[in-house]
Structure 1
Amino acid sequence: MYDDTGAGPLAVYAHGGFTSQDVERRMNLFDWAPVLRVGRRLVCYDARAHGRSTGRPFEADYTYVSLADDLLSLLDHLDAPEPVAAIGSSMGCATCLHAAIRETDRFSRLVLLLPPTAWASRERYARANRAAADTIERQGAEIWLAARGDAHRPAAVADVPAFPPTPPEPVLPSVLRGLARSDLPPPTTLAALRCPTLILTWADDPGHPVSTAAALADCLPRAELHIAHTRAEVQAWGLRIAQFVAVR
């Protein structure tokens, strides 16, 4: 399911794992109004099994590669006449990168929000996801969520409310295991990606380490990186993204 707003060249947004378009609006996390004001058509969609989109309990459906298939299928459905600007947060960031390396000519610009753990730091995240999936299957999602307690919150978003995962409990272990099987494309592959790229992240977030964002900025030939330390800086991302995607 997706929301289609505005008119002009197409920009598409892929949200982070376990959230949805509705949840991100309620979190007041990102402001997309500036993107519409610069004359872009913005399509925001719910990834499979998230929010209003359905999904199956098959972990292969939730790897970054499969999610990139979904993004490319959405672009087919939208029938965009020219390359699009792709914006992705966390899981959505990885989705956009995998789609862009597969069909580079379909993308004019990339905006990568909160790049997730990758490469050397990925295995620790993968182990935690597999353990979480096992816990949910044995004891239920409530036990897993309670065991997580008050997870560390970066200072830039410490006041943002937390929401439970949007994938339904019967599918949630498959989502966790699919993400555990995933990683960003290798740096040597990303080095061939020539489209301009804006990377935005915040500090002090183990799940979205600045080290991943910095490594991406180093290996992508036309990338710029900005790191937020305050809520005000995160709230300014919408305007920064709009200025970036408005360039033709």
Structure 2
Amino acid sequence: MRRLELFDIDAVAAGRRLLTYDQRGHGHSTGRAVAEDYRFERAATDLLGVLEAAAIDEPIDFAGSSLGAAAVLCAALAAPERFGRLALLIPPVSWEAGPRPARQWYADTARRIDEIGPAVWRKEWAQAAPLPIFADYPQAKFSPDVPDELLASVLRGVGLSELPDPDALAALHHRTLILAWDTDPLHPVSTAARLHVLMPHSTLHVARSVADVKTWTQRTAEFFGG
């Protein structure tokens, strides 16, 4: 989100201690070419490990997008006392029904990368049409910050994942802000809306324009400050 110039985590954290980290296999964090390493449950274990390594004992307020949102939901179920308020930005697709789930994109894309190679795939990705909500926003084009040798495995791991059982999520009592944007099949409004129904102390905002997405920094800051 920061790379897209849509969300300013530094502004959200003004006056607070800020801890950020790169997910396994992303950015400066290393990883293996093993799909199971990139499932949501493993991302949750890594998150709890970061908190342990940082010697953080008090509950933290957490903001995470996509895989980060999935990680904190799994982590909050495993260790609810470690978290205060949660901001879930573009939660990933989950709980799908039907013969052609949207998350099949991950397996199909991993197979395409195996066939043509990561470099060629990144060129194809760069030339693909943006999500409709970002049709007039050039900054929305980016390449995944994952090493070429891990790219297919990361996608497969995410594609194998599902958000936690709905009944379990309904037992979470953390105050939660859910932020979704329209027209994204891999982060659909339907998943965000179901999370809102399930989680008893949640608020949902759906953005339908870039200008609306850019209100998320202020919304999150106010949520954490309230």
Residues 126/164 of structure 1: CA separation in 2 closer, same or farther (3 Å cut): same
- Is 1:136 paired with 2:109? no
Determine the C-alpha separation between the residues in 1 that align with 2:203 and 2:4.
26
Quote the offset at 1:173 in angstroms: 1.2
1:215 corresponds, among 194, 198, 202, to 194
- Is 1:46 paired with 2:25? no
Identity of paired residues, percent? 42
Q: Where does structure 2 lack aligned partners over 5 or more consecutive residues? A: none
Quote the offset at 1:186 in angstroms: 1.4
Query: Which residue in the other structure is 1:190 paired with?
Result: 169
2:184 corresponds, among 187, 192, 205, to 205
Residues 192/59 of structure 1: CA separation in 2 closer, same or farther (3 Å cut): same
Letter in 2 for 1:221: P
Q: Give the aligned CA root-mean-square deviation in angstroms.
A: 1.9
Query: Which residue in the other structure is 2:80 paired with?
Result: 104
Query: Which residue in the other structure is 2:147 paired with?
Result: 168
Determine the C-alpha separation between the residues in 2 that align with 1:115 and 1:163.
19
Query: Which structure carries more strand by proportion?
Result: 1
Letter in 1 for 2:225: A
Quote the offset at 1:29 in angstroms: 2.0
2:92 corresponds, among 93, 116, 134, to 116
Calculate the TM-score normalised by the size of structure 2. 0.91
**Which secondary structure does the structure 1 equivalent of 2:101 belong to?**
helix
- Is 1:95 paired with 2:67? no
Query: Which residue in the other structure is 1:20 paired with?
Result: none
Query: Which residue in the other structure is 1:75 paired with?
Result: 51
Q: Where does structure 1 lack aligned partners over 5 or more consecutive residues? A: 1-23
Query: Which residue in the other structure is 2:9 paired with?
Result: 32
Contact 1:87 1:113 in 2 (8 A): yes
* Greater displacement, 141-150 / 43-52: 141-150
**1:53-68 superposed matches below 5 A:** 53-68=29-44
Residues 26/189 of structure 1: CA separation in 2 closer, same or farther (3 Å cut): closer
Contact 2:134 2:140 in 1 (8 A): no
Contact 2:182 2:207 in 1 (8 A): yes
Contact 1:35 1:42 in 2 (8 A): no
Determine the C-alpha separation between the residues in 2 that align with 1:88 and 1:158.
25
Residues 50/170 of structure 1: CA separation in 2 closer, same or farther (3 Å cut): same
**Which secondary structure does the structure 2 equivalent of 1:201 belong to?**
strand
Determine the C-alpha separation between the residues in 1 that align with 2:192 and 2:112.
31
Contact 1:199 1:225 in 2 (8 A): yes
Determine the C-alpha separation between the residues in 2 that align with 1:102 and 1:74.
15
Contact 2:31 2:150 in 1 (8 A): yes
Query: Which residue in the other structure is 2:133 paired with?
Result: 155
Letter in 2 for 1:125: A
- Is 1:226 paired with 2:205? yes
Quote the offset at 1:176 in angstroms: 1.0
Calculate the TM-score normalised by the size of structure 1. 0.83
Contact 1:198 1:244 in 2 (8 A): yes
Determine the C-alpha separation between the residues in 2 that align with 1:221 and 1:48.
31
Q: CA offsets per residue over residues 87-129 of structure 1, 9 Å max, x none? A: 1101111111011111111111110000111111596234221
Quote the offset at 1:132 in angstroms: 1.6
What number of residue pairs does the alignment pair up? 223
Determine the C-alpha separation between the residues in 1 that align with 2:187 and 2:10.
25
* Greater displacement, 162-171 / 62-71: 162-171
Determine the C-alpha separation between the residues in 2 that align with 1:106 and 1:158.
40
